[in-house]
Structure 1
Amino acid sequence: MDERTKSALLWGAVGVFAFLVLYQGYVLFGNDSVGFLPAFGVALVVGAGVAAAAYVAEIRLLGRGR
């Protein structure tokens, strides 16, 4: 696995965990829960979006010399 793919997958994992932490805080402050499976499904979609965005953005940022 090349470094770009590994980096994108790690950013996707960060997105999954960030969403789940925010969701847990939402429930902790007295709001209704939608259940574990729907929340985990949304977290996976968020993680996939973050991974895809990181994969595309990394090459664009490298191309600009940043």
Structure 2
Amino acid sequence: MSTTVAGLSRRTLSALLWGAVGFMAFLVLVQGYALVVEPLVSIGQGVAVAGLVGGMTAGSAYVLEHRLAVWSARRAMDETASHGGDDKSKS
């Protein structure tokens, strides 16, 4: 398994980055709601919920990313095979 920053695997680093995206996206949505309507939660509550959202996003990404990549690769192979593939012997 290849390592990257601080000895983390690429899969772990990717999951942590997705968690950061989930964390920040939730905070942006809460702030946007506060600007348009009224504050939905306090800053502390927003950070706590964003932490939960970020953690769940990171966990989901870690579990599902590999499975989605395998599924996508299999689907691409099936589509290539169903369209005649890349067989150059037919040309």
**TM-score normalised by the chain length of structure 2:** 0.67
Where do 5+ consecutive residues of structure 1 fail to align? none
Q: Deviations along 1:8-59, whole A, 9 cap, x unmatched? A: 0000000000000000000001313421110000000000010011001111
Segments of structure 2 that go 5 or more residues without pairing to the other structure are 1-7, 77-91
User: Aligned residues: percent identity?
Assistant: 48
Given the alignment of the two structures, is residue 8 of structure 1 paired with residue 29 of structure 2, yes or no? no
Question: Higher relative CO (CA 8 A, sep ≥ 6), structure 1 or 2?
Answer: 1
Root mean square deviation, CA, Å? 1.3
Q: Larger C-alpha radius of gyration, 1 or 2?
A: 2
For 1:30 and 1:61, locate their aligned partners in 2 and report how far apart those are by CA, in whole Å: 38
For 2:15, what is the secondary structure of its paired residue?
A: helix
Listed as ranges, the matches of 1:1-66 within 5 Å are 1-64=8-71, 65=73
Write out the 4+ residue segments of structure 1 that deviate beyond 2 Å after TM superposition: none
Distance 2:15 2:57 in 1: 8
Q: How far 1:3 sits from its partner (Å)? A: 0.1
How many residues of Structure 1 are paired with residues of Structure 2 in the alignment? 66
